[in-house]
Amino acid sequence: MKDSGGNNDDGKNGPGNTGGNTGTGIVTKTRPKTKKPSLYKVLLLNDDYTPMEFVVHILEKIFGKNREEAVDVMLHVHRHGVGICGVYTFEVAETKVAQVIEFSRRHQHPLQCTMEKE
Ligand code: TYC
């Protein structure tokens, strides 16, 4: 909070300082604060009722996949029970899960979607 971004130099020695000779000084170090956000996988679940074309549509519209990628993911979920639609930061993942569930509910399909920390 109180870091100017540069090194102080009180003319004394110490880590981050450049001169002086008394062996004392304020310890400062430049440290860009770039904490990487946690990432979350958005998972699509298989069911026996949702039409394949509806799932492909969701993968195209909500997850930005082209037709080929969308069909691949849909078939993976159909065959294996679960599959990854994408990896996002928490709020983006949360929003996409909600969009899938709401869009499916509106069209009376039971398609389910969830998220999981990577
Ligand atoms: N299993 C569905 C069917 O045979 C298709 C489907 C694929 C449903 C993926 C959901 O996440 C899903 N019509």
Q: Is 97 in the pocket of ligand 1 (CB under 6 A)?
A: no
- Residue pair 58/69 in contact by the 8 Å Cβ criterion: no
Supply the DSSP symbol for 62: T
Predicted local confidence at residue 31, as pLDDT: 82
C-alpha 55 to ligand 1 mean position (Å): 7
pTM of the model: 0.76
- Contact of 100 with 44, CB cutoff 8 Å: yes
Q: What is the CA radius of gyration of the chain?
A: 25
Q: What is the pLDDT of residues 38-86, one digit of tens each?
A: 999 999 999 999 999 999 999 999 999 999 999 999 999 999 999 999 9
**pLDDT of 95 over the 50 cut:** yes
- pLDDT computed for residue 25 by the predictor: 66
Task: Provide the 8-state DSSP code for 32.
Answer: -
Please tell me the distance between residue 40's alpha carbon and the centre of ligand 1 in angstroms.
22
Q: What is the DSSP letter of 96?
A: H
Closest by Cα among 89, 92, 113, 93 to 101 = 113
Q: Is 77 in the pocket of ligand 1 (CB under 6 A)?
A: yes
Q: State mean pLDDT over 79-100.
A: 98
Q: Give the pLDDT confidence score for residue 13 in this predicted structure.
A: 36
